[in-house]
Amino acid sequence: MKLINIFLILIPSISFADNILINSNKIFDFAEKSYPQFFNHVGTKTVALEGYLARYYPDTGVYIGTKDDEVYVYGEIFSGLLKVGAISDFVSLAPDGDTLLASVFAEAQSNVRVYGTGVVIALLSDDLNGSRHQRFIIELKSKQTLLISHNIDSAPRINELSLNDQIEFAGEYEWNEKGGVIHWTHHDPAGIHEDGWLFHNRMIYQ
């Protein structure tokens, strides 16, 4: 297929990173921009589907998905499921978010869009003041700690959350002296804030 041939001649970039959902969204966005005849974006969202992260395009009846660092397409036009390469064959992978998070903490910045991956080191009680928020603390590879404040009136709760679990996140950073707080880890129905999310055990919470 012409699409596959174009994919396969692209020069590999850097090796796969921890940012599984961030990098999956990058390759999906790339496919939509480069090959709209197959991946026609009309509000398509990334979902977790049978071990893959994927987007479905009803106009063409095709999927694009990732599993670990590999990219797959699926549909009649591809004669079923077809692996087309690694994410890093097509897009530069997202840099480690720890550097940005260290910088905004050192400079006491707030209202900054951030992403990253950390490990749960404390589970806290829900904040029931106003909108309800699930709260827990993660530690980054850099050892910086972050309080995740996840709005469970706007997004699903992570019910099966335990100490030492890995969490990938995207949201808005608010400074505090303990490392910072991550808000807006959910879809904003008003469209004012860029949508955030949490990614845990291959499930997206948004």
- Taking the C-alpha atoms of residue 104 and residue 182, their distance in angstroms, rounded to an integer, is 12
Ranges of residues in the chain with a pLDDT under 70 are 1-17
Mark out the alpha helices in the chain (DSSP H runs): 2-9, 20-34, 98-106
pLDDT of residue 193: 77
Domains of the chain: 10-89 (no CATH), 98-205 (2.40.50.140)
Output the pTM of the full model.
Answer: 0.84
pLDDT of residue 13: 32
Residue identified by tokens 């019910």 is 159
pLDDT of residue 28: 96
pLDDT of residue 12: 35
φ, ψ for residue 108 (rounded to 5)? 55, 45
pLDDT of residue 194: 84
